Amino acid sequence: MHELALAQRTVELMTQTATANGGGRIVSARLLLGELSCVQPETLAFAFDAASRGTCAEGCRLDIVRIPAKLRCLACGAVRGGDLLEMCPGCGRVGCDVLEGRELRLESVDLEEDTCPKAGGKP
Amino acid sequence: MTEISVERNLLDEDARIAAENREKFRRARVYALNLMSGPGAGKTTLLESTIERLRGRIRLAVIAGDIETRRDADRLARRGAPVVQINTRGDCHLDARRIAGALKEMNLAALDMVIVENVGNLVCPAEFDLGEHDKAMILSVAEGHDKPAKYPLMFREARAMVVNKIDLLPYTNFDVEAAVADARTLNPNLEVFRLSARTGDGLDGWLTWLDARLRSVRA
């Protein structure tokens, strides 16, 4: 259950972003979540609701975008999706590098200016 | 309303603190290892044996993470190693900030090695960089050989895997070769040690590896 810790990090980044842009309320945000990260999107959304209470991100709509795994075969270099332990459809070997799919990233937020007196406060 | 591009990793601040911890270890020429496993795989028992065997040769301290209690810290302190206990009060993993707090209570200049005993959990600790040199993990033969396939991230992140409780192999259907093969598929350079922390069987390979890792950060 490290979703709560990640939700707290998300709120911290949102608070910093609001402060750096003159204050206001974060009304929506896009969060990139790789499929290979060990994070449940539903649990993260639930934890975010709790962690954002009393901050400038309270009530923010969180759009969680899942990023599919992008793997490169260690043997032949072919790029594919799927599972870490699956055979490469090209050469039949297992073992790969992870190119994408581990993202835990706040991409963008929508800021409504100057409607939240608490903006910039600590979460 | 304005759309603002943020483009920051949720763990950016953790990465910054982890880098500070790493720098502290580097300056003190202390080797730092993050030891992870599921609950009950034998982290504390392996550390007890490790402390005993390194005593007088390598000055080792432990940072023990648990959700509650000082039990592990008390067990390890009885073996004569300095121990800092961190109770996470619900968090399922240690993070760089907690390690930074523990380092304030430690005199790194008087140490050669710090082993962090992470919270028992095969999932979450793998996501968090503490500033350690290496991650190592334990898989015990009481857990089932399908764990690498089920929890791939931790097996990918680890530099070494201890297959523990090999004294119990006659009583389980654990397939060591299958577990090691899956783990090495996920992580081709993974070092593997088969041992029993309780009986001491196979412990020499693990201790030799720790020695070599310590020498490598001092080279």
Q: What are the 10-residue block averages of pLDDT along chain B, 219 residues in total? A: 95 96 98 97 96 96 89 90 89 93 96 96 91 98 92 93 98 96 94 98 98 94
Size of interface A-B (CB pairs under 8 A): 91
Q: What is the pLDDT of residue B89?
A: 81
Looking up tokens 């055979």, which residue turns up?
A87
> Under a CB-based contact definition with an 8 Å cutoff, are residues B65 and B118 in contact?
yes
Q: What is the pLDDT of residue A117?
A: 53
Q: Cβ contacts (< 8 Å) between A85 and chain B: which residues?
A: 148-149, 152, 182, 185-186
- Residues contacting B159, CB < 8 A, separation 6+: B134, B135, B136, B189, B190, B191
Compute the distance between CA of residue A88 and CA of residue A94 in angstroms, rounded to an integer. Answer: 6
A26-60 as b/e: b if 16+ CB within 10 A: bbbbbbbbbbbbbbeeeebbebbeebbeebbbbeb
Query: Would an 8 Å CB–CB cutoff place A72 in contact with chain B?
Result: no
The C-alpha of A56 sits at a distance from chain B's nearest C-alpha, in angstroms, of: 14
In the predicted structure, residue A118 carries a pLDDT above the cut 80: no
pLDDT band at A115 (very low <50, low <70, confident <90, very high): low
**Residue range A83-106: mean pLDDT, rounded:** 92
pLDDT band at A119 (very low <50, low <70, confident <90, very high): very low
**Residue range A87-102: mean pLDDT, rounded:** 92
Please answer yes or no on whether A111 and B1 come within 8 Å at the CB atom.
yes
Q: For strand B31-37 and strand B2-9, is the pairing parallel, antiparallel, or unpaired?
A: unpaired
Q: What is the pLDDT of residue A1?
A: 61
* A 45-64 residues inside an 8 A Cβ radius of B: none
Select from B120, B192, B206 the least CA-distant residue to B155.
Answer: B192
Q: Which two tokens stand for residue B168?
A: 């119990």
> Under a CB-based contact definition with an 8 Å cutoff, are residues B77 and B51 in contact?
no
Query: Would an 8 Å CB–CB cutoff place A12 in contact with chain B?
Result: yes
Please answer yes or no on whether A94 and B185 come within 8 Å at the CB atom.
yes
How many CB atoms lie under 10 A from the CB of residue B216?
11
The sign of the torsion formed by the CA atoms of A28, A32, A38, A42 equals: positive
Of A12, A85, A107, the CB nearest to B13: A12
Query: Would an 8 Å CB–CB cutoff place B173 in contact with chain A?
Result: no
Query: pTM (2 decimals)?
Result: 0.91
More confident residue, A1 or B7: B7
Dihedral through CA B110, CA B113, CA B119, CA B120, nearest 10?
-140
Query: Would an 8 Å CB–CB cutoff place A107 in contact with chain B?
Result: yes
End-to-end, the C-alpha distance of chain A in Å comes to: 20
Looking up tokens 């599921």, which residue turns up?
B38
The C-alpha of B86 sits at a distance from chain A's nearest C-alpha, in angstroms, of: 16
Q: What is the pLDDT of residue B139?
A: 97
Q: Tell me, what amino acid is at B106?
A: M
Please answer yes or no on whether B1 and A36 come within 8 Å at the CB atom.
no
Query: Would an 8 Å CB–CB cutoff place B159 in contact with chain A?
Result: no
Of B6, B14, B188, the CB nearest to A109: B6
What are the residue ranges of helices labelled H in B12-82? 12-28, 43-54, 71-78
Burial of A100 (0-12, 13-18, 19+ CB in 10 A): middle
In the predicted structure, residue A66 carries a pLDDT above the cut 60: yes
Query: Would an 8 Å CB–CB cutoff place B9 in contact with chain A?
Result: yes
> Under a CB-based contact definition with an 8 Å cutoff, are residues A119 and A25 in contact?
yes
